[in-house]
Each structure stands twice: as structure tokens, then as C-alpha cells.
Amino acid sequence: MTESPRIVRLQKFLARSGVASRRACEELIVAGRVSVNGVVQSELGFKVDGEQDIVCLDGKRISLSDEKVVLMLHKPAGCLTTMDDPQHRPTVASLVPTDKYPGLYPIGRLDKDTTGLLLFTNDGELGEMLLHPRHHVKKQYFAYVDGVFDKECIERFKQGLSLNDGMTAPADVSVLRGKELAFAQKMLEAGALPKGKSPKKSSPGGQKTYLSITIREGRKRQIRRMCEHVGHPVLALHRQIMGNLDLGDLPRGSYRLLSDEETVALYKSAAE
């Protein structure tokens, strides 16, 4: 007997509902935060009927979203990439239309002090694709670092660096000049450049460098750690491009929905 397509594993149902990526949904299940028909289910292989069963997360019913959306936010500095913070600090949740599109969650994260392009979706499967290491979606950042970032540092980035969590993949890096430099300064100064602050060990003469850095990994605070590793701490960091998407000059703190064409291209970039 063929199983109904409505019958799916619990973590897949949660991901499809836009709760989070499938991996994050598995963590929610194991933590005992998910119930089915009033009974807590912590077994990852447990299956549910998407139309008949009542699935709840922390007591709140979860249902499949009819409208799948993807949007990009220009994340400002000082804002946590989470939809809920127990300490009531500023989060990105207040900047996106969660009332209109229930189940929105961020795809990946930017740390509190990093600005720029942050994607949101209520499509758990797309989020999982983009977050999976094997897809290597490119991400371009503008970085303002302490000291003069010379050719030796550039070469080390291109060869990969040995961090405490292993070797990084080769990264593309260049010193910004001309129009690209002017645009990067505009983006960084919009909300990322420190005022009157300097790193503990500032370079001689107070020299600084603006960089374009492109990586295809998603390790925690990766660019900050890479720059620190070669002796050039990051003073400000901004993400401009992810996959086929460019933040452009979207105002800080604002968002826009992706078009169908952009969403299709995003799927393709994740599958490359």
C-alpha cells in the first residue's frame, strides 16, 4: 500500500511550515518542544498527517503556510539574528512582517555588529538547501580592517587558513578602490563603522584597509576570525551579496520581497 504524500516525518513537516531549517527542527523535537495531538514527540522518525494531525511548538499550533515567500533585509548593527530573545534585546524579528507571513525565519545569521543582506523565508526546504554546506552559496562582504592588508595576507586567504575548527576553503579577497571603495564606505558608514573606537593593538600610524571578501562557507564569525588570524582585526563588516542576490542600496532596516525570478535563481545557486 502506497503511503499518502500527506504523511511526512515530523521534522520535515515543521520545516515545510517555516518553523526553521530541518536540522534546527530536529533539535526542537529532541528538546521535547513539539507535540502531536497533545502528546510530546521526541522521536525524529515520527510521522504526521499534515492535514489531520495537530502539531504544536511550545503549545502553539503549527500549520503549513499556503504562501511561500523569501525576502531580504538590510540588517542594521546592534540587532541580533534571532526571532526571539529571552533577554529582550533588539532582534531582526521586529524588522520583518511576521504578522503577514507567519513562520518567517532567517536563513543563516549575521552577528550583532555585522550589517547587510540577511534572507528570510517561511519555506523550510529552501532554507535547508541554502544552509547545507555542500551547496557553497557565495557571500560577498565589505570589511574595514586594522592595518595594511598586504599581498601576503591576500595570498594566505586564497590558499586557506588553519582556524581552530579546521582549514577554510579558499577565499577571494581584494583591496577596494575607486567606485567600489566609495560604495563600500557608504554601506559601512551607514551603521557599522565604530565612532572613536580602536582595537586593543592598533597598527602603527593608525592605518586601515577596506576589503572585498568572498567566501562560500558559513562558519560562525568566519571573516572576523580569518582577519584576526592574519593580524588585521575587523573594525566593521557588511554583507552585500549572497548567491545571485545583491543588496543594492536598500535602506538600512528595510526589507523587500524577492521576485519569483530571483527566488528561482536562488534555488539554482544553492544547487550548484
The amino acid occupying position 25 is C
Q: Nearest CA to 109 among 143, 55, 161, 73?
A: 73
Question: 231 — phi, psi (to 5°)?
Answer: 85, 20
Asked about 111 being catalytic, the answer comes back as yes
What is the widest separation between alpha-carbon atoms in the chain? 76
| Cα distance from N-terminal residue to C-terminal residue, the chain | 36
Q: Nearest CA to 124 among 103, 95, 93, 101?
A: 103
| Distance of alpha carbon 169 from alpha carbon 156, whole angstroms | 11
Residue pair 14/1 in contact by the 8 Å Cβ criterion: no
| Distance of alpha carbon 61 from alpha carbon 7, whole angstroms | 18
| Distance of alpha carbon 90 from alpha carbon 88, whole angstroms | 7
Where b means 16+ CB within 10 Å and e means fewer, 138-175 reads: ebbbbbbbbbebeeebbebbeeebeeeeeebeebebee
Report the 10 Å Cβ neighbour count for 271.
Answer: 10
Q: Which of 111, 113, 146, 172 is catalytic?
A: 111
Give the residue numbers marked as catalytic: 111
